[in-house]
Amino acid sequence: MVLGSSLPEGAFNIIFGRGSVVGLRFIEDPRNNAILFTSLVPTGRFD
């Protein structure tokens, strides 16, 4: 679906791993303009 779209390279990325390992580093990176979660409600919570 994404490979056949007209999105520019780097506009769509999938990151695998535990949130405790990759999550904080990812959200603190100034190159990220937006983050979208597709999962259950608790996935997007940051308490």
- Residues 1-47 pLDDT 10s: 677 788 888 777 777 877 777 778 888 889 888 777 666 666 656 66
pTM metric for this prediction: 0.42
- CA within 13 Å, CB half, 2: 7
Look up residue 28 and give its amino acid. Answer: E
**What pLDDT is attached to residue 6?**
85
**What pLDDT is attached to residue 8?**
84
23 touches 32 (CB < 8 A): no
**What pLDDT is attached to residue 1?**
64
**What pLDDT is attached to residue 22?**
79
13 touches 3 (CB < 8 A): no
43: DSSP letter: G
